[in-house]
Amino acid sequence: MTTTDAKTQIDETVKANDVVLYMKGTKDMPQCGFSSRVAGVLNFMGVEFADVNVLADEAIRQGIKDYSDWPTVPQLYVKGEFVGGCDIITEMTLSGELDTLFDQNGVPYDKAAADKIREANA
């Protein structure tokens, strides 16, 4: 796969799905702690999301970093927009910003589960 092909594929994936997580491994079997944390938050909150395993394709692994101009994986996209990596998603979850982002974009999630995460980390 060429760099152009990877960019096109990433662009199509990000635009075709409301929520996409580029990660190491899959949502059922994450292969790094940071990917596991973000996938865990999304799974716990009941968010439907597409997962893309960057370890399966070197062009996608490099391509996603170029696409977002962000050096690390995982990377979360909501409605085609890059949201952030593990630290940003963790902060947004704890501050309630992630709930707001999902609300504004019509992404269904379990509000009670989001509150539980905040209670557990208060």
Known binding-site positions for [2Fe-2S] cluster: 32
> Which DSSP symbol is given to 108?
-
Q: Which whole-number Å values give the CA distances from 108 to 49, 52, 75, 90, in the listed order?
A: 11, 20, 19, 19
Annotated binding site: 32
Cα 14 to Cα 21: distance, rounded to the nearest angstrom: 9
